[in-house]
């Protein structure tokens, strides 16, 4: 089976705000082909090498990119940067200029989004965002790909995100707006998503027909929703805020009562890792409407598609 691999409109995958609808459609078409015929695509990236630079711990991102390169016939080299922030030992420009001589693509999981932008600026090879403090594009793309598998089309469907307006939330907003899905974000006052993200997404929504709402009342936010999404209340780097956040976010826990206020059959979503008993109850997390492991599986296939379309 021969894959059609069109070029995306950007060299890199840093944020889905830069992706066109055609880009996302190409990623999803390639994802479906790769997922359906996983064993027959080892020639796609044969002899290609990926550098994986991680400042943060990871299970899903590290395994799925590494396994994904192997599935496509390539190889990955892991560089652990948890003990030394990017740019501390040598400049990001020099790192980028060195890596582009040895490998064919870079995936970086960083604290600061600016570090990714600087790598991409100086590297002639593709740079893929494996997570930054600003956005988590591979997660958002995997979330909505999974919903297309469940629903067929996400246009006009409503996803309610309950929790901290963090990097995952930002990617959900950007991706929903591009695809024409409705997105409601419900956070405690002072923990809403970045206002620039919301403004940019609202401009996109004018073209796609998406509706974007920022709310503070969980009951109002989930009313009639087709899916409810949550994430940890304190992200990596916010460990000193855990106790304070647990108190502030207690009323935003996704439990059976909150799920019951959504549309019948509404799906439950989480990017993982999850803390049962905090942002979500065990009954919801492990219940029949939870699609968290489907999403985790699709991280592999979506990221393989991104690499196949970017790395040449």
pLDDT in tens, 4-37: 899 999 999 999 999 999 999 999 999 999 999 8
Could you please state the CATH topology (level 3) that the domain comprising 16-135+297-310 is classified under: Rossmann fold (3.40.50)
Please tell me the predicted confidence (pLDDT) of residue 59: 96
What's the CA angle centered on 269, arms 266 and 273, to 5 degrees? 155
Higher pLDDT among residues 216 and 242, named by residue: 216
Average pLDDT of the chain, as a whole number: 96
pLDDT in tens, 2-12: 788 999 999 99
Do 16-135+297-310 and 139-293 show the same overall fold?
A: yes
**Hey, how many other C-beta atoms are within 10 angstroms of the C-beta on 80?**
12
DSSP 39: G
Please tell me the predicted confidence (pLDDT) of residue 85: 76
What are the two backbone dihedrals, phi and then psi, of residue 293, each rounded to the nearest 5 degrees? -80, -25
Residue with the two structure tokens 């009323």: 251
Least confident of 2-16, 230-244, 251-265, 277-291: 230-244
Contact 292, 279 (CB under 8 A): no
pLDDT in tens, 48-64: 999 999 999 999 999 99
Q: Is the pTM of this model over 0.75?
A: yes
Domain residue ranges in the chain:
16-135+297-310, 139-293
Contact 50, 77 (CB under 8 A): yes
Active site residues: 109, 136, 139, 231, 271, 299
237-266 mean pLDDT: 93
How many residues are there in the chain? Answer: 312
Measured CA to CA, the distance from residue 225 to residue 196 in angstroms comes to 25
pLDDT in tens, 151-202: 999 999 999 999 999 999 999 999 999 999 999 999 999 999 999 999 999 9
pLDDT exceeds 80 at position 39: no
Which candidate, 84, 27, 104, 95, places its Cα nearest to that of 302? Answer: 27
What share of the chain has pLDDT > 90, as a percent? 90
pLDDT exceeds 80 at position 239: no
Please tell me the predicted confidence (pLDDT) of residue 107: 98
The correct answer on CATH 3.40.50.1370 for the domain covering 139-293 is yes
Residue 45 contacts by C-beta under 8 Å, 6 or more apart in sequence?
69, 72, 73, 74, 104, 307, 308, 311
């Amino acid at each position: 089976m021969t894959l059609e691999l069109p070029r995306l409109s950007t060299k890199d995958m840093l944020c889905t705000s830069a992706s066109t609808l055609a880009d996302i459609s190409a990623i999803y078409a390639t994802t479906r082909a790769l997922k359906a015929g996983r064993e027959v695509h080892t020639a796609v990236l044969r002899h290609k090498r990926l550098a994986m630079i991680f400042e943060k711990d990871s299970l899903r991102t590290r395994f799925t990119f590494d396994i994904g390169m192997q599935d496509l016939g390539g190889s990955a080299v892991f560089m652990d940067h948890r003990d030394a922030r990017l740019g501390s030992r040598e400049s990001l420009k020099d790192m980028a200029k060195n890596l582009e001589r040895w490998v064919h693509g870079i995936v970086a999981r960083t604290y600061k989004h600016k570090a990714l932008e600087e790598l991409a600026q100086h590297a002639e090879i593709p740079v893929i965002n494996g997570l930054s403090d600003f956005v988590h594009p591979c997660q958002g793309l995997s979330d909505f790909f999974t919903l297309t598998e469940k629903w067929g089309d996400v246009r006009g469907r409503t996803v309610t995100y309950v929790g901290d307006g963090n990097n995952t939330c930002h990617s959900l907003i950007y991706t929903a707006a591009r695809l024409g899905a409705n997105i409601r974000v419900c956070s405690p006052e002072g923990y809403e998503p970045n206002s620039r993200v919301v403004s940019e997404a609202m401009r996109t929504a004018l073209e796609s027909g998406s509706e974007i709402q920022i709310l503070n009342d969980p009951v109002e936010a989930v009313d009639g929703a087709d899916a409810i999404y949550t994430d940890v209340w304190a992200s990596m780097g916010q460990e000193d805020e855990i106790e304070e956040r647990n108190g502030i976010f207690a009323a935003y826990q996704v439990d059976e009562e909150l799920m019951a206020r959504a549309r019948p059959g509404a799906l439950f979503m989480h990017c993982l890792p999850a803390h049962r008993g905090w942002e979500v109850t065990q009954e919801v997390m492990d219940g029949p409407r939870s699609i968290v492991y489907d999403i985790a599986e699709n991280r592999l296939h979506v990221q393989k598609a991104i690499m196949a379309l970017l790395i040449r």
